[in-house]
Amino acid sequence: MRRRTLSRLTIAAVSLALLAALSPAAGASTPAHHPVPDESAYKRVGYFTQWGVYGRDFQVKDLDTSGTAAKLTHINYAFGNVNADGECFTGNVPGEADAWADYVRPLDAAGSVDGVADTADQPLAGNFNQLRELKAKHPGLKVMISLGGWGWSTHFSDAARTPASRKALVASCLDLYIKGNLPADGARGGAGAAAGLFDGIDIDWEWPGSAGDTDTVYRPEDKRNFTALVREFRTQLDAYAKTRKDRRKHYELTAFVPTAPAKIDAGFEVRKIMRDLDFVNLQGYDFHGSWETTTAQQSALFARNDFSVDQTVRDWLRRGAPARKLVVGMPFYGQGWTGVTGGGDGLGRPATGPAPATWANGSEDYEALKKLADSGRFTVHRDRLNGHAWLFDGTTLWTYDDPRVLWTKSVYVRAKGLGGAMFWSLDGDTPDGELITAVDRGLGHR
């Protein structure tokens, strides 16, 4: 216990020292910090959601106009799906795949990164073409295809069961995304239509060896099969790189991994997978949420006898993960409850259910929570020692990360020598990129 307390005090001291060093003098303007994405920089990995272009109207161009793209090293495109035959696929299948959003949907000049409208005969449109334009405008920015996610991890266990099925899965994913051979959809798609867009694969299998979504299959042997799947991805990515003109090209391989020790031990041979993965994105949120009947923190930096960012980092380090390959997940949304009783600041109190929200009850984007905080109806509470914040109006509570919390977490990443920060998801930030800016200033360069 004393060791953890000293660690918190150390982080607090480092935070204060860095704050003094990084804060501009009174009256001085703060220069924009645009890191050069290279191997010496901290990773700044943001998930871009395929479906965000609809209701939220969050477009790839918004990453440019908000200044976010200049502060990122990686964009993870969420998500690619695996079908019952154990292959990566796309198409227009409600709830399963959305080729329209990915590469078919035309954008006009006002909605395009380069200010040029899509034409009817170009093979690549939609989000994929906009990401290609974004990369052209921000050299060094990498785009990864993220496979699975909570809802689309259904068939991973089946696809990873045998050497033959793993080879087939990986080959199909490389063909579709790395080689860019998209199914034809009118004038869109075709052989090589998306070639050169994706710089690697992010495996978001939730979860090998333990329960995930209701229809997601899992087995005890998933643990060794996940290791073998990672190895197969690494082998085929490296082999493909050797066929390219620029043989120095390295296709990155990453994974999203859990916070719960039981899930780590059930599904991950940590030392083995870390040899083949460039880095892992640690789950740094959803420690608690509106599926529970008592309010609690969802993303605290430290917590006593509870999940926390620090606990997650230490658990992965203890199991053999290199610190430089651990990228800390940070939420751009909050978890909320309503019907909170018991008084006080609302934390640790009984609640009747998920708080009403814009898109799904119990979960709200930071942009909306900021408006609640500024409305005067809610009080902002902070646990400065443990590094988290929440809003409470006497009945409704939202646990979330604001710029002050994310800046402190970024300082923690630096103090611990970790790999960087990951964000779920970019569409939750404000139009001027308030959250990404806080992390960017906190991280600086190695």
* Cα-based distances in Å from 244 to 179, 188, 195, 221, 380: 11, 24, 11, 35, 53
Tell me the average pLDDT of the chain. 92
**Structural domain contains residue 350:** no
The two tokens of residue 173 are 């994913």
**Which pLDDT does position 19 carry in this prediction?**
40
Range of the domain at 114: 35-332+402-443
The shares of helix, strand and coil residues in the chain, as percent rounded to the nearest 5, are 35, 20, 45
**Structural domain contains residue 203:** yes
Give the model's confidence band at 12: pLDDT under 50 very low, under 70 low, under 90 confident, else very high. low
**Which pLDDT does position 33 carry in this prediction?**
36
**Which pLDDT does position 96 carry in this prediction?**
97
Amino acid making up residue 440: D
Decide if 367 is catalytic.
Answer: no
- What lies within 8 Å, CB to CB, of 233 at 6+ separation is 170, 173, 201, 203, 253, 276
**Closest listed residue to residue 327, CA positions, set 238, 409, 383, 260:** 409
Strand 326-331 with 279-282, pairing: parallel
Separation between Cα atoms, residue 57 and residue 52, nearest integer Å: 6
8 Å CB contact between 423 and 47: yes
Give the model's confidence band at 364: pLDDT under 50 very low, under 70 low, under 90 confident, else very high. very high
For residue 13, pLDDT beyond 80: no
Model-wide pTM > 0.85: yes
CA dihedral defined by 417, 426, 376, 393, rounded to 10 degrees? -80
Could you report the per-residue pLDDT of 188-240, keeping only the tens digit for each? 999 999 999 999 999 999 999 999 999 999 999 999 999 999 999 999 999 99
For residue 8, pLDDT beyond 90: no
**Structural domain contains residue 255:** yes
- Lowest mean pLDDT segment, chosen from 8-22, 251-265, 295-309, 401-415: 8-22
8 Å CB contact between 149 and 78: yes
Give the model's confidence band at 327: pLDDT under 50 very low, under 70 low, under 90 confident, else very high. very high
**Structural domain contains residue 357:** no
**Structural domain contains residue 19:** no
The two tokens of residue 271 are 């030392």
Domain count, the chain: 1
**What is the phi/psi pair of residue 436, to 5°?**
-65, -30
**What is the phi/psi pair of residue 339, to 5°?**
70, 35
Strand 182-185 with 188-190, pairing: antiparallel
Residue 146's beta-bridge partner residues?
Answer: 78, 202
Residue 78's beta-bridge partner residues?
Answer: 49, 146
**Structural domain contains residue 212:** yes
Domain CATH code at residue 227: 3.20.20.80
- Lowest mean pLDDT segment, chosen from 104-113, 141-150, 244-253, 396-405: 244-253
Complete DSSP assignment for 315-346: HHHHTT--GGGEEEEEESEEEEEES--S-TTS
**Structural domain contains residue 11:** no
Among 87, 133, 206, 232, the one annotated catalytic? 206
**Which pLDDT does position 34 carry in this prediction?**
35
For residue 262, pLDDT beyond 50: yes
**Structural domain contains residue 367:** no
Could you report the per-residue pLDDT of 68-81, keeping only the tens digit for each? 999 999 999 999 99
> DSSP 3-state assignment of 210?
coil
For residue 106, pLDDT beyond 50: yes
Could you report the per-residue pLDDT of 41-56, keeping only the tens digit for each? 899 999 999 999 999 9
